[in-house]
Amino acid sequence: MDDYGLVSSSPPWKWVVEKPCFVSWNSKEEGPVCLGQLSPLNSTSRLTINIGWRADELLIALHLPVSIRASKHPRDMFMIIPCDFDTSALDMTFTPIQAYGRVDLESAGLADCNLFHLSFRLAMPCDVIMPRAKRQKPVKGTPKELMSRLKSLSETTSFDIYFRFDTFAQLELRKIFASNSMKRLNTPTLLLDSMYDGRGGGVNLWLNQGLDLESEDKRCHSHPESPQNLLPPPPYTRDTMPSLDLNKPPEPLEPLVEVEVPFSDVSVASLPIHKESDGEGVPETPFWVRMRRILDYRSPSVEHSSRAHFKRAASVDSLPDSNLRRKQVRTGRSPSLGPPVHEASAPVLAGLGSESTVARRELISQDKKTNHNASPSLAPAIHETSGPACVAVETARITTQQGAGSPPARTEEIATWLFGAWSVLPSAHHDLRDQLLAFGAASEELFAQARVECTTRLAFAAARAPKLQDTATCTTDVADAEEQVREVVQWINNVKPDADISILHDLVVLAQTAMKVVDSDPDSKAEKMNEFLMCKARCIAHACVLEASAATG
441-454 pLDDT, tens digit per residue, is 888 788 888 888 88
Whole-angstrom distance, CA of residue 435 vs CA of residue 451: 9
Convert 95-148 into a string of H (helix), E (strand) and C (coil).
Answer: CCECCCCCHHHHHCCCCCCCEEEEEEECCCCCEEEEECCCCCCCCCHHHHHHHH
Residue 255: inside a domain: no
Would you call 53 helix, strand, or coil by DSSP? strand
Residue 372: inside a domain: no
DSSP string of 427-468? Answer: THHHHTHHHHHHHHH--TTTHHHHHHHHHHHHHHHHHHSSSP
Residue % of the chain over a pLDDT of 70: 61
Whole-angstrom distance, CA of residue 279 vs CA of residue 175: 96
Whether residue 217 has pLDDT greater than 60: no
Kind and range of the H or E run holding 309:
helix 300-315
Name the domain count of the chain: 2
Residue 383: inside a domain: no
The bridge status of strand 158-164 relative to strand 115-121 is: antiparallel
Residues 514, 485 contacting (CB under 8 angstroms): yes
Supply the pLDDT for residue 276. Answer: 45
Residue % of the chain over a pLDDT of 90: 14
CA dihedral (518, 524, 528, 533) positive or negative: positive
Whole-angstrom distance, CA of residue 104 vs CA of residue 26: 13
Tell me which of 50-59, 393-402, 409-418, 487-496 is least confident.
393-402
Range of the domain at 87: 14-209
Residue 222: inside a domain: no
Give which of 74, 51, 75, 73 is closest to 62, Cα–Cα.
51
First to last CA, the chain: 35
At 175-214, the pLDDT tens digits run 888 887 777 888 999 999 888 888 899 999 998 888 875 5
DSSP string of 196-257? Answer: TTTT-EEES-TTTTTSSHHHHHHHHHHSPPPGGGSPPPPPP-TTTSPP--TTSPPPPPPPB-
Q: What residues does 271 pair with on adjacent strands?
A: 284
Dihedral Cα 302, 308, 314, 316, nearest 10 deg: -120
Whole-angstrom distance, CA of residue 406 vs CA of residue 544: 11
Give the DSSP letter of residue 338. B
Residue 505: inside a domain: yes
Residue bearing the bigger pLDDT, 228 or 499: 499
Whether residue 154 has pLDDT greater than 90: yes
Sequence length of the chain is 553
Residue 506: inside a domain: yes
Whether residue 219 has pLDDT greater than 70: no
Separation in Å, CA 241 to CA 234, 238, 252, 273, 276: 12, 5, 16, 21, 18
- What rounded mean pLDDT belongs to the chain? 72
Treating both helix axes as pointing N-terminal to C-terminal, what angle do 408-421 and 525-552 enclose, rounded to 10 degrees?
Answer: 130
Residues 187, 58 contacting (CB under 8 angstroms): yes
Dihedral Cα 492, 497, 503, 509, nearest 10 deg: 50
Final residue belonging to a domain, choices 146, 179, 209: 209
Separation in Å, CA 106 to CA 48, 109, 331, 350: 18, 5, 49, 55
Q: How confident is the model at residue 298 (pLDDT cuts 50, 70, 90)?
A: low
Phi, psi of 75 (to 5 degrees): -95, 110
Treating both helix axes as pointing N-terminal to C-terminal, what angle do 525-552 and 433-441 enclose, rounded to 10 degrees?
Answer: 60
Residues 6+ apart with CB under 8 A from 451: 413, 417, 439
How do the residues of the chain divide into helix, strand and coil, expressed in percent and rounded to 5? 40, 15, 45
Residue 519: inside a domain: yes
- Most confident range, picked from 36-40, 107-111, 287-291, 319-323: 107-111
Q: What residues does 118 pair with on adjacent strands?
A: 161
Q: What is the mean pLDDT of residues 347-370?
A: 45
Final residue belonging to a domain, choices 155, 185, 209: 209
In the chain, the largest separation of any two C-alpha atoms, in whole Å, equals: 121
Whole-angstrom distance, CA of residue 190 vs CA of residue 61: 12
Residue 80: inside a domain: yes
Residues 426, 487 contacting (CB under 8 angstroms): no
Omega cis (within 30) before 11 = yes
Supply the pLDDT for residue 339. Answer: 43
Final residue belonging to a domain, choices 192, 209, 226: 209
For residue 213, the number of C-alpha atoms closer than 13 Å in the C-beta half-sphere is 12
- Most confident range, picked from 188-202, 235-249, 339-353: 188-202
DSSP string of 385-440? Answer: -SSTTEEEEE------SSTTSS-HHHHHHHHHHHHHHTTT-TTHHHHTHHHHHHHH
Whether residue 325 has pLDDT greater than 80: no
CA 411 to the chain's CA centroid: 26
Interior/surface letters 466-488, b for 16+ CB within 10 angstroms, e for the rest? eeeeebeeebeeeeebeebbeeb
